[in-house]
Amino acid sequence: MTGDSFNLRQPFWRTNPIFTPGGQGALDIPVSQRLQRIPPYPFREVAMLKAKMIAEGKEVLDFGIGDPDMPTPEFVVEALCEAARDPSTHQYDESGYGIPEYKEAIARFMKKRFGVDVDPDGEIQSCIGSKEALAHIVWAYVDPGDVVLVPDPAYSVYKVQTMWCGGAPVPMPLDPANGFLPDFDAIPIGARRLAKLMFLNYPNNPTGAVADLDFFKRAVEFAHEWNIIICQDAAYCEVAYDGFEPPSILQVDGAKDVCIEFHSFSKTFNMTGWRVAWAVGGKKIIDALSRTKSNVDSGTFMAIQRAGIVALERYDEWVGTMRAEYQRRRDALIEGLRSVGWPVEPPKATFYVWAPIPKGFESSTEFSRQLLEKAHILTVAGNVYGDYGEGFVRWSLTIQAEDKMGTIEKAVEALRTHFVLQW
Ligand SMILES: Cc1ncc(COP(=O)(O)O)c(C=O)c1O
């Protein structure tokens, strides 16, 4: 650097073309190369398309984004109002990990729901929604060149955050023939050696697939053998049907040494906008997440943590209502789709129906575009979730219209009217 750099009347950046193109200042500063590599968040485009059609006066039958359309239970809202009136909730949560009562309520829930013992002191981290935590666990562990094993198709955050950190996402294809579970034996040896993290997500978005404890056992064994941390995304763990109770990976002996699991209030209690979740796992892994977060955010609003305690305490009286409503919609949609010949299976969990596209359409994108343009049905093209999502579209049961069952009927009718479908 020359002496000119320190001349305040002519600082180096004033004459450096990188900083002064066209004299527009900050508007012309390119975003980081890191950000340039990242594709736009897929649902922004879907939301824009939907808004455009509504502006054109069209009724959109919206089975797109997976955002619960029903309100948060009243008892949770009440608990928040009460907690928000208490000024002691208004400051930073200095605990870093979450207030003790919140972590204790989570520990009680993990014990009651899964039979898993968790130490509230060091094995739980409160999160501002699980998306944030899924991102930050990658920041905590991944250096440029590290491998992250990522299911494909999958929620985009795992792959995008790996790229953000300069890591290499290696796909684990989710094959329908294997129940949309990854085949650990198919993971290349080189990738196993270089991998630091493996993401799993059961119950699964977008396929609706579920994992049993045997699968989790194999995953934990694999993680021990190859020295990999499993990040199991359990956002849909409570949205399950026909009496099925999805397990936690932490039910497996020895899981805590190599696993972190992410749970969320978002889907269970219709609380997507509240941004409240938790991560649970071995102390070392939780500590790494916590250290990362403490340098980025300043904790979850304490009044929301208190409302979260009430939600968990009253889980038993609520969960059946939520499950019954989605199960009603699931059954109606499956029946309707089957009535036009669509070979779809009812998911055991999640509010997604993962449906193979019919013959004669060149891609998922093309088919979902035609569904929207001709029948005004909004779904999500499977390839949005990765290359192995090609050939599918995702229907979400979180129907945003007033009349849920009517929307399903209209969609089935529109399919019948506008298409001749064959598989
Ligand atoms: C698989 C999966 N994980 C995590 C999330 C994020 O949930 P939240 O950040 O609201 O807890 C979502 C949201 O749609 C999801 O689909």
At 386-422, the pLDDT tens digits run 999 999 999 999 998 899 999 999 999 999 999 988 9
Beta carbons within 10 angstroms of residue 90's beta carbon? 11
Question: Which atom, in ligand 1's list, is nearest to the CA of 267?
Answer: 10
**Pairing verdict, β 277-281 and 229-233:** unpaired
The contacts of residue 72 (CB under 8 Å, 6+ apart) are 269, 270, 271, 274
Pocket residues for ligand 1 (CB within 6 Å)?
66, 129-131, 155, 201, 205, 233, 235, 264, 266, 272, 277
Alpha-carbon distances, residue 192 vs 41, 188, 231 (angstroms): 28, 6, 15
Give the tens place of pLDDT for each residue, 96-145: 899 999 999 999 999 999 999 999 999 999 999 999 999 999 999 999 99
Residue 236 CA, ligand 1 centroid: distance in Å: 8
Examine the pLDDT at 324 and tell me if it is beyond 70: yes
In the block, tokens 């979400």 appear at: 396
Q: Is 233 helix (H, G, I), strand (E, B) or coil?
A: strand
Give the tens place of pLDDT for each residue, 175-192: 999 999 999 999 999 999
Give the tens place of pLDDT for each residue, 241-296: 999 999 999 999 999 999 999 999 999 999 999 999 999 999 999 999 999 999 99
Examine the pLDDT at 33 and tell me if it is beyond 80: yes
Cross-strand partners of 190: none
Residue 235 CA, ligand 1 centroid: distance in Å: 6
Q: What is the mean pLDDT of the chain?
A: 93
Residue 130 CA, ligand 1 centroid: distance in Å: 6
Token representation of residue 277: 């979740």
Question: Which atom, in ligand 1's list, is nearest to the CA of 233?
Answer: 3
Token representation of residue 316: 């038993």
Per DSSP, helices labelled H in 115-212 are: 130-141, 157-164, 189-194
> Of 11-25, 84-98, 279-293, 330-344, where does mean pLDDT reach its minimum?
11-25
Examine the pLDDT at 27 and tell me if it is beyond 80: no
Counting ligand 1 atoms within 8 A of each CB, the residue from 44, 126, 130 with the most, and so the one to mutate, is 130
Give the tens place of pLDDT for each residue, 135-148: 999 999 999 999 99
**Pairing verdict, β 195-200 and 168-173:** unpaired
Counting ligand 1 atoms within 8 A of each CB, the residue from 128, 205, 262 with the most, and so the one to mutate, is 205
Cross-strand partners of 240: 349
Beta strands in 139-276 (DSSP E): 147-152, 168-173, 195-200, 229-233, 259-264
Examine the pLDDT at 8 and tell me if it is beyond 50: no
Examine the pLDDT at 4 and tell me if it is beyond 50: no
The contacts of residue 330 (CB under 8 Å, 6+ apart) are 241, 346, 347, 351, 353, 397
Beta carbons within 10 angstroms of residue 420's beta carbon? 9
Beta strands in 99-194 (DSSP E): 124-127, 147-152, 168-173
In the block, tokens 């790996």 appear at: 162
Flag whether the pTM goes above 0.85: yes
Examine the pLDDT at 195 and tell me if it is beyond 70: yes
